[in-house]
Amino acid sequence: MPLPTPLSGPAFGSYAADDVTWLLKDLSDADLEAPVEQREAAIQAGTAHYAESLPVEYQPSAEYTALFEKALAEQSRRVALAAAVLVHLIVDLRGRDAVLVSLARAGTPIGILLRRYARRLGLDLPHYTMSIVRGRGLDTVALRYLAEHHDPADVVFVDGWTGKGAISRELTAACIEAEQSLGVRFDPSLAVLADPGSSTDVYGTRDDFLIPSACLNSTVSGLVSRTVLNDRLIGPDDFHGAKFYAELAPGDVSRRYLDVVESHFDDVAPEARAQAARLLGADRSPTWSGWKAVEEVSAGYGIGDVNLVKPGVGETTRVLLRRVPWRVLVRPDRRHELGHVELLAEQRGVPVEVVDDLAFSCMGLIHPRFAQTES
């Protein structure tokens, strides 16, 4: 079967066509949104997979938008430095012909930043974005496309951050499956801006800090939804799908976010080269400390399912934006960086618990008995 045609802006998404090629099917006309409580109940009851539908996008209040702007002003240089370090690592480890393949959607703005910094090194690294779904793996049609157009050995999978390491594990399993089913070998190493969960050896930093793009949904990710894998809409020869929320354009900050971070690239370049050189000479082996910490919290709070414990700033923010949170744990020495988390928790009526010696800056917990308690 012929492979589908990828998507690009401005027909799909608000990013420039030169920034990213979307290996996705356009589902913009499909009715996929459901109330977050309804989705959570179905997911936990096992009657639906989270990738079969979409949450109704949370539209931030003026107060929350102001917190995003504050985070962008305070953290943009830190993001730029981590992105620059990551590019130097990727080039040193994988060569100057690397192909960036970000995991939609949190990885997409990160992949664009890597592509833009690489240009300062005289490199034109292709950048695609594709879907990975927990429990379902990588989009195999997208992998076929990549294998047909590039040397699979050059493909570098990119994401924003790690939590407990579930995506790292999913990626490794998916690459093994691809080798068995497609006869093509992709490197399962995951390149991330931040690896607080210590689940990969290719990272810009292991600090658990606020990456501002984690604060918002589609309006900081090219106006594109998270990805959808629904048998009613996605056939065996289709890419996984996503929606383009063109109607949200008035609140779109996707390009401005990139431009603000990129404005720091020249300034951070010398520091980035030095940090990358140190990392290349250091032991970067994953310790999976994030997974261990999640197991401890899951047991301590009687949750019994690590998938309902979301560690780190990025994952906690996602819980508050897209799931039904039970409570939020925060480390006292990091509260000054977590204003947006505490505001979201307040707006959703979620208790915040201060926990000394928490392994991450914060964690979001989803109650495992939600389906029953809501009935």
* pLDDT at site 373: 33
Mention every residue, 6+ apart, whose C-beta is less than 8 A from residue 140.
178, 181, 182
* pLDDT at site 40: 66
* pLDDT at site 305: 87
| pTM attached to this predicted model | 0.91
- Go through the domains of the chain in sequence order and give each one's CATH number: 21-280 (no CATH), 289-374 (3.30.1330.30)
Structure tokens at 299: 């047991």
Do the bridges between strand 137-138 and strand 132-133 make them parallel or antiparallel, or are there none, so unpaired? Answer: antiparallel
* pLDDT at site 184: 93
User: Average pLDDT per run of 10 along the chain, which is 375 residues long?
Assistant: 93 97 96 73 65 78 84 95 98 97 95 98 98 89 96 97 91 93 94 96 94 89 94 94 94 95 98 97 95 94 89 89 89 90 91 94 83 31
* pLDDT at site 277: 97
SS (H, E, C) the chain: CCCCCCECCCCCCCCCCCCCEECCEECCCCCCEECHHHHHHHHHHCCCCHHHCEECCCCCCHHHHHHHHHHHHHHHHHHHHHHHHHHHHHHHHHCCCCEEEEECCCHHHHHHHHHHHHHHCCCCCCEEEECEECCCEECHHHHHHHHHHCCHHHEEEEEEECCCCHHHHHHHHHHHHHHHHHCCCCCCCEEEEECCCCCCCEEEECCCCCCHHHCCCHHHCCCECCCECCCCCCCCCCCCEECECHHHHHHCCHHHHHHHHHCCHHHHHHHHHHHHHHHHCCCCCCCCHHHHHHHHHHHHCCCCCHHHEEECHHHHHHHHHHCCEEEEEECHHHHHHCHHHHHHHHHHCCCEEECCCCCCCEEEEECCCHHHHHC
What's phi and psi for 19, nearest 5 deg?
Answer: -80, -40
* pLDDT at site 131: 96
* pLDDT at site 371: 36
Residues in the chain: 375
